[in-house]
Amino acid sequence: MPMSAGEMPQTVNIVPRVVMQEQAASTVRDALRNVTGISLAAGEGGFSGDALTLRGFSARGDFFIDGIRDLGQYTRDSFFLESVDVLKGPSSIIFGRGSTGGVVNQTSRQPLPTTQGEVRLSAYTPQGLRGTADVNVRVGDVAGRLVLMGSRIDAAERDNVFQQRWGIFPSMTFGMGTPTTLTLSWLHQEEYNMPDYGVPFFQGRPLRVSTNTFYGLNQTDRERTVTDVLTALLEHRFSDDLQIRNTLRWAGYSRELAATAPRLVASTVAGGITRNSLVSRSPQVRNRYDSLIVNQTEATVRFDTFGLRHELLAGFEIGRESSEAVRFGQTGRPNANLLFPDFYATGNIVQTFASDIKTVANTLALYAVDRILIGEMFELILGGRWDNFHQPALRAHRHRLHLARRLRLQADNRHPHLCRGGHVLQPVGGIADARSQQRQSGARNGDDL
C-alpha cells in the first residue's frame, strides 16, 4: 500500500522482532498470540503446520512472506523475520484471493548498511535447546546477511514426543546505497518431529489417563518437512516520486507424515476400562508437495493533479501453483495397551497406496491503489484489482481393492473484479477517523481437497 500501517483505513497489528525476542517466540504461532481476533487451531482435516482463524474465518491459506503467498503446510519459525504483520479484514486488492478475515504477512530480515552480528541461546524445560545467529557484513556497495537456527525441544509431560528444526536464511544485496539494488535470498528450513494425536475419546470425552501416555509407534511414526523459498528482488529509484520493483520467487514445500490416531477397541472397553483394554493404532500416512513460482512487478508514483496530491501503487502479478497429495494405508500395526502403551512395539506392517490427487492453478492479476490527499485533514483511498484464476480439471488416482479409477473434476475458472474504497479524516494530529469497504475473492488451489 502507498502508505504506512498507521495511515491505513484498516486494522493492522505488527509484532516486531524485539517483542518476539523478549517473549522467546520461536514460531509465528507464538508471535500471533499477541494479536486479538486470532484463534489457533490444531490442523484438523488432514492438515498440519500453522492453522488459524482470523476474525472467525480460516486463514490457513493467507500466509505471506514479503507480500507473496506462503502456501506450505509447515511450522513457520520466526528466526529470519523482522516482524509479523496482521492485516484484519478484506485485503484482496494487494494480496489477491483469500479469506475475509485478513492476512498474515511475514517480513524477512534484509541486508543492512552496517556490519554487525548476534548469537542467542535458549534452554527449555523439561529438555530443549535452541540457538540462533544473525551476522551482517557490508563491503562497499555489497552487503550480505546470514541467519541460522537450530532447535530441539521435547514436549512437556509427553513421552517420546519432540520437535526438531533447523534453518538457514542467507541474503545478499548488490548496489546498496545506489538507485538500483538487487537482493537475493534463500530460506531453507527442515523439520523432523514425532507427531502426537493425543488420546482417544471414551463416553464422549477425552480418556482420563496419565498425561505422559503416548500411543505412537517408533517403528513408523514421523513427520518431516522441507521448505525452500528463493527470492530475487530488483529495485530502481528514478526519483523520490517514482520507484519500480520486481520480485521473482520460487518456493517448494514437501511434507511426509506417518502418525498414529488412537482409537479404542470397543470389545475391550464394553464393561469399562481395565488393565486389558486396548487401543487401536489407526494409521494416518500421507505425503504432500506444494510448489509456487510468481513474478510480481510494482511501481510507486507520486504526482499532483488539480491541486490534489496522489500516491499511486500499481502492480502486475503472474504465477503458477501446484500441489500433489498422496495418501497411503497400513495394515499390521500392533494394538497398544490402554494404560501402558509400548512405544517400541513392532508388527508386520504393510503399506499400500490409497490415492494421489494433483492440482494446478495459474493466476494473473492487475491492481492499483491511489491515495489522494485532499487538504491537510482529509484523504481518499481508491483501489481496484482484476484477477484471472484458472484451475484446470483436477486429476485424482484412487486405489481400492487393487482396482484403479480415474476421476475428473470440473475445472475452476474465475475472473473476479475487486474494488476498494476508503477515507481518512484527521482533524487533529494523532486523531483520525478511518473507514473502508472492499469486495473479497476467496478462490483456492485445491487446499481443501
308-321 per-position pLDDT tens digit:
999 999 999 999 99
Is residue 401 very low, low, confident or very high in pLDDT (cuts 50, 70, 90)?
Answer: very low
- In the DSSP assignment, the letter for residue 75 is -
The closest alpha carbon to 284, from 164, 212, 197, belongs to: 197
Cα separation, 108 vs 121, in Å, equals 21
39-69 per-position pLDDT tens digit:
877 655 556 678 788 888 878 788 999 999 9
Between 267 and 431, where is the model more confident? 267
Mean pLDDT across the stretch 87-106? 80
Q: How far is CA 242 from the centre of its chain?
A: 32
Residue 5 has which C-alpha cell?
500501517
Question: CA dist 183 to 90, 138, 176, 321, Å?
Answer: 30, 13, 9, 23
Could you tell me the domains of the chain?
Answer: 115-438 (2.40.170.20)
**For residues 214 and 343, is the Cβ–Cβ distance under 8 A?**
yes
Between 420 and 293, where is the model more confident? 293
pTM (global) more than 0.75: yes
In degrees, to the nearest 5, what angle opens at C-alpha 131 toward C-alphas 130 and 137? 160
**For residues 260 and 216, is the Cβ–Cβ distance under 8 A?**
yes
- Furthest C-alpha separation in the chain: 85
Residue 58: the pLDDT is 79
The closest alpha carbon to 150, from 133, 135, 136, belongs to: 133
Q: What average pLDDT is seen over the chain?
A: 86
2-23 per-position pLDDT tens digit:
666 766 777 889 999 999 999 9
Mean pLDDT across the stretch 181-185? 98
